[in-house]
Chains A and B, each alone.
Chain A
Amino acid sequence: MYRAKQPGPDIPLTFAVHTTILRASLLGAIVLLVGCRATPGDRATTPPLRWGGDAEGGAPFVEADPTDPSRVRGFDVEIADLLARGLGRRAQFVQVAWASIAQSVERGDFDIGLSGIEDRPELRERESLTMPYFEFREVLAVRPADRDRFRTLSDLAGRRVATLGSTGAYQLLLDEQARAKVVPVSYDDDVHPYTDLVAGRVDAVLLDHIIAERRLRVLGGFVIQPDPVATGHYVGVLSKGNVALRDSVNAILRDRMRDGSLEKIFRSWDVWDDGQAMYFARVLADTSVGAVRNPSTGATSALSYLPSLLRAAAVTVALSVLSMSLAVAFGTAVAAGRVYGSALVRGFLTVYVEVVRGTPVLLQLFVIYYGLSGVVRLPAFLAAVIGLGLNYAAYESEIYRAALEAIPRSQLEAARTLGLSEGQILRLVRGPQALRLALAPMTNDFVALLKDSSLVSVITVVELTKQTAIYATNVGSWVVPGALCALVYLSLSLPLSRFARRLERRWSIA
């Protein structure tokens, strides 16, 4: 499960580790202030209980406090305070991207991660997990008209089912892809799956019932099917070796389950129901819950991910080639308009170029995909091609314009004295010469586009980087997926650069 967050996994791989460090240190500063204010009476000798969560996730897990945005609130925040008090320490919040919590705790960025983290077998293998403190249900949300049609995943054969990437629900959908023939659609946040459901872009959403119910209250326009598809548990995650703290935390959790403190917290966040009460009763009756056993799945071979990576690479290539074609065609038109057009045309095109260059491509993708969905509902891949294409067209047009203007006047005059028309001069003399000048920066742009195409995962297109992030989350390491992904990108970009250099050499005599 999980909720709104910025596109963490879409940051180019090589920076992933870097970003974690950066975030940890930046937010560490803020958090120090928060922590200090929370328990001013603490002695300096007691180290704080540093806990990691993602405030971008939002309520009821962890969110910025609307009355004081430098603080966080949510049931996970209160559980962290509960644990800290039980340990005689004060809680100190560390902001971390949700998908990176396990890796961040293993690096020692904080003591425990608490942010609606799902209990999953592969996570249990790699890290120390606390006893589950909340039982959630994976529920299907559908449009009211489909209430009787789409009751289970099996009813959704051939249909698009949305969820959050890197979650148990997404894994579930991937598993069901083969069996029930559903089409999983991965989002980077937990808001847009529901808005797209209402808008008709997807046919169902599979997510934690907490999220589904919250979205239903805020957004409406859909129904939640009563029968859960699966159940899961939220746990705290600690580094593999930190068994001692894990055991202390488990003891505290069990006590607070028994004395009703946890129930009180969940009630105050409106997530307590009969199912939860039954779950708590079950846990308290069974003394062995703290050490849940899951069958080991064994090390997943890197090879098994290769087909999906290659498929994702094909998406990246198709996306890049189509976007670049659009960018070249449209960029040429814009450049010609800016060189040859009337003052009105030039002014209009200048505004286009400056607006597109002056705003983030991420924003443009959001606007085209979500912003325009009331007017025209573009399929994700098409929206991605148009978004990237129009964005790069602005950059291409500037390259072409500069190249056109770099052709010496004497060349154009020579062509005029020969009786060639303006159109022929552009086509036969100015254009071809400008193309030779533009080739190097164009190649550069295409290589950049190849990598920028990873941004489109924010509008649900699963391309190479996104697939790598999913893979990395599954195996809990960026090393092998990162290396594989880098290898694929390089094998795409290096031949391109070589081709461009050869063409340039050939043209350097002409």
Chain B
Amino acid sequence: MEHRVTARALTVRGLRATRGGTPVLRGVDLDVASGEICALMGVSGAGKSTVLRAVAALEAFSEGTIVVDGFALQPGPVPPESRLRLLRSKVGFVFQAHSLFEHLTVMDNVTLAPIHAQGWTRERARGVAAGLLETLGVAARAGAYPRQLSGGEAQRVAIARALALDPHLLLMDEPTSALDPARRGALGETLADLATQGRGLLIATHDVDFAQDHADRVAVLAGGVLVEHGPAREVLANPTHAATRALLQATNVRAS
């Protein structure tokens, strides 16, 4: 938290990664500013998740640099967790299947990292968690187990868990995939609030409507490179690249 307020939450330069010998990313440059919601778009398999996983140091990358709020990741094998402590407090990750810990209550899910990874007192962790759950509208479910939650509730708990350490950058993988349209709107508002607090948000999605309504910027990934990026409304209103048009088309087909 003392590392607060750099203009850039994330800087990615020349990112290359392979998966099982095949190149997935062939030189990706990407910036996410503090207070900005950036939608990383592309069809399934375009490499959106790979970018997110490389930034979260869950997956190795072969070339390029990743700098999160001053913390630089180098190419090569993922470093041991002991060397990633600082990164972990700077980056929050909300998984597509939200991956809440099934054996813990909502409250324990949110307080686990503050207590055990950061050494907070139980009282402090519970206080922060209660505030987050309240803000996200799931305070009433604090004692529930993940299996007892609806899809929307589980997602909000997962966001609360990722925010517990007050990360500067929040990564989300396909956050709208399990939500109905009404919930998507609510999620958009939540994310906007998080951005206004000064966080950078990088959201992997192929949901064009969601990106259009809630993202500040859009970056379109195709064939392992960014083919188009710019302000969300501009890019999506006047796509210049075939991949973007294909994305829009797929959305329209689905909508009709």
Residues in A lying within 8 Å of B, measured CB to CB: 408, 410-411, 413-422, 424, 428-429, 432-433, 436, 507, 509-510
Asked whether B118 lies within 8 Å of A417 as measured between CB atoms, the reply is: no
Could you say which interface size class chain B belongs to?
A: 20 to 34
Knowing A428-B112, A509-B147, A510-B147, say if A421 contacts B99 (CB, 8 Å).
Answer: no
- Looking across the interface, which residue of chain A has its beta carbon closest to that of B144? A509
For A416, list chain B residues within 8 Å (CB). 58, 81, 88
Nearest neighbor of B82 in chain A, beta-carbon distance: A421
CA distance A188 to B69 in the complex (A): 75
Please name the residue on chain A nearest to B145 by beta carbon: A510
- State in angstroms the CA–CA spacing of A507 and B102 once bound together: 10
Once A410-B95, A410-B97 are accepted as A-B contacts, the answer to whether A418 and B161 lie under 8 Å apart by CB is yes
Q: Which residues of A contact B138 (CB under 8 A)?
A: none
29 contacts between A and B (CB under 8 A): A411-B102, A413-B58, A413-B95, A413-B99, A414-B101, A415-B101, A417-B91, A417-B93, A417-B162, A418-B113, A418-B117, A418-B161, A419-B81, A420-B113, A420-B116, A420-B117, A422-B81, A424-B116, A424-B117, A428-B112, A428-B116, A429-B101, A429-B112, A432-B103, A433-B103, A507-B103, A509-B145, A509-B147, A510-B104
Among B84, B101, B145, B147, contact of A419 (Cβ-Cβ < 8 Å) = B84
Nearest residue, chain B, Cβ from A421: B81
On chain A, the residues within 8 Å of B19 by CB distance are none
- Bound-complex Cα distance A161 to B102 (A): 58
Complex CA distance for A38 and B116, rounded to whole angstroms: 81
CB nearest to A424 among chain B residues: B116
B241 part of interface (Cβ distance < 8 Å)? no
B88 touches which of A418, A428, A429, A509 (Cβ 8 Å): A418
**From residue A407, how far is it (CB to closest CB) to chain B in Å?**
9
* Residues of B close to A421: CB separation below 8 A: 81-82, 117
> What separation, in Å, do the CA atoms of A424 and B82 have in the docked complex?
12
How far apart sit A285 and B61, CA to CA, in the bound complex (Å)? Answer: 104
Q: Which of A408, A418, A509, A510 contacts B112 (CB 8 A)?
A: A418
User: Which residues of the partner chain A approach B117 to less than 8 Å between Cβ atoms?
Assistant: 418-421, 424
B residues 148-204 near A (Cβ < 8 Å) are 148, 161-162, 165
Complex-state Cα separation, A411 to B58, whole angstroms: 12
Contact residues, B83-112 vs A (CB, 8 A): 84-85, 88-89, 91-93, 95, 97, 99-104, 112
Q: Which 7 A-B pairs have the closest CB atoms?
A: A419-B88, A418-B113, A419-B117, A414-B99, A417-B93, A410-B99, A510-B145
Query: Judging by beta carbons under 8 Å apart, are A510 and B103 in contact?
Result: yes
Most chain A CB inside 10 Å of its own CB: which residue of B58, B85, B91, B92: B58
Contact B165 A414 (CB under 8 A): no
Question: Given the complex of chains A and B, what is the CA–CA distance between A509 and B148 in angstroms?
Answer: 7
Q: Is the CB of A510 within 8 A of B102?
A: yes
Contact residues in A for B73 (Cβ distance below 8 Å): none
Report how far A432 CA is from B58 CA in the complex, Å.
Answer: 23
Q: A411-B102, A428-B116, A510-B145 are in contact. List 9 more A-B contacts (CB 8 A).
A: A408-B99, A410-B99, A411-B101, A413-B58, A413-B99, A414-B101, A418-B165, A429-B101, A432-B103
Is residue B56 contacting chain A, with contact meaning CB distance below 8 A? yes
In the bound assembly, the distance between CA atoms of A428 and B85 in angstroms comes to 18
Contact B95–A419 (Cβ < 8 Å): no
Complex: how many Å from CA A428 to CA B117?
11
Contact A417 B88 (CB under 8 A): yes
Q: B162 to chain A: which residues have CB within 8 Å?
A: 417-418
CA of A473 to CA of B97 in the docked complex: distance in angstroms? Answer: 64
